[in-house]
Amino acid sequence: MSEKILLVVMDGVGFSKTGLGDAVTLANTPTLDHLLKTRPNTRLKAHGDAVGLPSDDDMGNSEVGHNALGCGQVYSQGAKLVNESIESGKLYNSETWRALAGQCAANGTTLHFIGLLSDGNVHSNISHLLAMIAQAKAEGVKTVRVHALLDGRDVPATSALIYIDQLEAALAALNDGSFDAKIASGGGRMKITMDRYQADWNMVKRGWETHVRGEGRQFASAKDAIETYRAENPGVIDQDLPPFVIAADGAPVGRITDGDSVILFNFRGDRALELSMAFDYDDFDKFDRGAKPDVLYAGMLQYDGDLQLPKRYLVSPPEIKETLSELLVSHGMTQFAVSETQKYGHVTYFWNGNRSGKFSEELEDYLEIPSDRVSFDERPWMKSAEVTDAVIAAMRSGKYDFIRCNYPNGDMVGHTGNLDATITAMEAVDLGITRILKVADELGVTVLITADHGNADEMLEKNKKGELQVRTAHSLNPVPFIIYSEQAYEIKDGSFGLANVAPTVAAIFGLKPYDSWEESMIK
């Protein structure tokens, strides 16, 4: 165990299959190119069943990716977990569902659904929403309101009307004299509600004002709002559309008021925590909520077990045990984790199996570098230099057996749809790795380089007409795994996924892996 290991996660960097908008290849990345030609490497599956999602049509994401990287196992995740709960009826038999739906059915109050309206399977799936609305009617709920956050990030950039039309058709089929369901409000996911890591509470404030208080620009329908905003803002994509409120005769159709129930139907936690705080916390000072309505609130999942947030939830998250961090701590090994705010939770909370705290205060150190509060394509280098500085300082300290870091650039800049900026982002990551490897040579540190999913590798796609359009979603492409070491490690033949990384780290350290783990990739 004298060897020291650094794991570098290049967030959102895969191997393109189409060559369309491949910022990874288009970028000048001499170090990454050289490593792939001269060092042991393979390609890892980072989507679908390799990360616990229902099918290979499901894109991986940073949360399930870091879960798999950190625990060496594959757990049912996100959409798959919720699918199983809905199909079995377990969700509707939960104490939370009975309380929320039961309150509305008994008292004639409104059941509200807030969440990302798409089938991207990263934060949510529209099928879950439609199933719950139908079940609510069957159980005697009379009024339902939907507060629809527009995607354009995990699905095509301007596909919002597809999902609006699908929802409106489903509601029309359910509506009758005893049941009234409508869209009440909405807006782009990067404009309202879905902030993460407390980077911009104003997003959540705007969402609260829109969904809860019914304040904002009024429209007759969600379709009207979207078409109007697109006409006023040529080139705008769904995630950046301003908030809107649906009104009739000048009055919002769906304010959230005392006695109502509210379900946040997103299953992914990072962009659900802050709205959950606003609903759950009595002592809340991030913005002025006004008169907080007395409602029953629940999330699709409990988004943070340590914080018990939210207090009510519909589906229990996977109980991830026997993580790499636990194994290292059990052997008295020291660890350091660093990223900037946008991915800090991924090298800590998600890496540790959805656990906020450390396994050992004495053996683990974490460092968060605050992200800039600007659009990522304006500063595509993000905090790569500062992350690199921190990694080099940690290596030089000699204090840590295992260091892990995340460069968010490929993912966060890739999501903007700006190809030129993403090329610059990839070049910044390559520069950071170049600096790291020089110090690794000096100190004899083994460096493992991988990614959690693809994104920057496929930033254009063809629409049904065969025309190229911007792609802002993750890709289904494999990701690299590279070994840079003084030792002559060889990678086995075979098909591997992200869950094979932790066992490989253990093998390099000479540690016996947990029986639950996948196999190591080295011979």
> pLDDT tens digits, residue range 127-178?
999 999 999 999 999 999 999 999 999 999 999 999 999 999 999 999 999 9
| Per-residue confidence (pLDDT) for residue 318, from 0 to 100 | 78
pLDDT at position 304 over 80: no
| Per-residue confidence (pLDDT) for residue 364, from 0 to 100 | 98
Residue 62 known to be catalytic = yes
Closest CA to 516 of 491, 492, 499: 499
Helix (H), strand (E) at residue 131:
helix 126-138
CA dist 13 and 424 (Å) reads: 13
> pLDDT tens digits, residue range 363-407?
999 999 999 999 999 999 999 999 999 999 999 999 999 999 999
pLDDT band at 303 (very low <50, low <70, confident <90, very high): confident
pLDDT at position 197 over 90: no
| Per-residue confidence (pLDDT) for residue 1, from 0 to 100 | 53
> DSSP characters for 69-95?
HHHSS----HHHHHHHHHHHTHHHHSH
Q: Contact, 339 vs 408, CB < 8 A?
A: yes
pLDDT band at 305 (very low <50, low <70, confident <90, very high): low
The CA-atom distances, in angstroms, between 478 and each of 12, 225, 417, 453 are 10, 38, 20, 7
The SS3 of residue 137 is helix
pLDDT band at 470 (very low <50, low <70, confident <90, very high): very high
> pLDDT tens digits, residue range 343-353?
999 999 999 99
Residue 128 corresponds to which amino acid? H
Instruction: Identify the weakest region by mean pLDDT among 11-15, 283-287, 305-309.
Output: 305-309
pLDDT band at 269 (very low <50, low <70, confident <90, very high): confident
The answer for residues whose C-beta is within 8 angstroms of residue 105's C-beta and 6 or more apart is: 139, 140, 141, 142
CA dist 38 and 25 (Å) reads: 17
pLDDT band at 270 (very low <50, low <70, confident <90, very high): confident
| Per-residue confidence (pLDDT) for residue 280, from 0 to 100 | 98
CA dist 58 and 122 (Å) reads: 8
CA dist 32 and 23 (Å) reads: 13
Query: What does DSSP say about strands 364-369 and 335-340: parallel, antiparallel, or unpaired?
Result: parallel
pLDDT band at 306 (very low <50, low <70, confident <90, very high): low
pLDDT at position 479 over 60: yes
> pLDDT tens digits, residue range 404-436?
999 999 999 999 999 999 999 999 999 999 999
Q: How much is the mean pLDDT over the chain?
A: 96
Q: Contact, 418 vs 365, CB < 8 A?
A: no
With a pLDDT cut of 90, the percent of the chain lying above it is: 91
> pLDDT tens digits, residue range 480-514?
999 999 999 999 999 999 999 999 999 999 999 99
Structure tokens of 515?
């029986």
> DSSP characters for 336-382?
EEEEEHHHHHIIIIITTTS--S-S-TTTEEEEEEPPPSS-TTTSTTT
The answer for residues whose C-beta is within 8 angstroms of residue 203's C-beta and 6 or more apart is: 190, 191, 192, 193, 194, 195
| Per-residue confidence (pLDDT) for residue 292, from 0 to 100 | 97
Structure tokens of 486?
């003084």
Among residues 2, 16, 55, 62, the one annotated as catalytic is 62
Class of domain 79-315: alpha beta
Closest CA to 126 of 148, 94, 152: 148
pLDDT at position 7 over 80: yes
Residue 323 corresponds to which amino acid? T
Parse the chain into domains and list their residue ranges.
5-76+320-509, 79-315
Q: Contact, 381 vs 375, CB < 8 A?
A: no
| Per-residue confidence (pLDDT) for residue 67, from 0 to 100 | 96
pLDDT at position 58 over 90: no
Residue range 71-89: mean pLDDT, rounded: 93
* 3.60.110.10, 3.90.1180.10, 3.40.50.300, 3.40.720.10: CATH of 5-76+320-509: 3.40.720.10
The SS3 of residue 392 is helix
pLDDT at position 262 over 90: yes
| Per-residue confidence (pLDDT) for residue 473, from 0 to 100 | 86
pLDDT at position 90 over 80: yes
pLDDT at position 79 over 90: no
Beta bridge pairs of residue 344? none
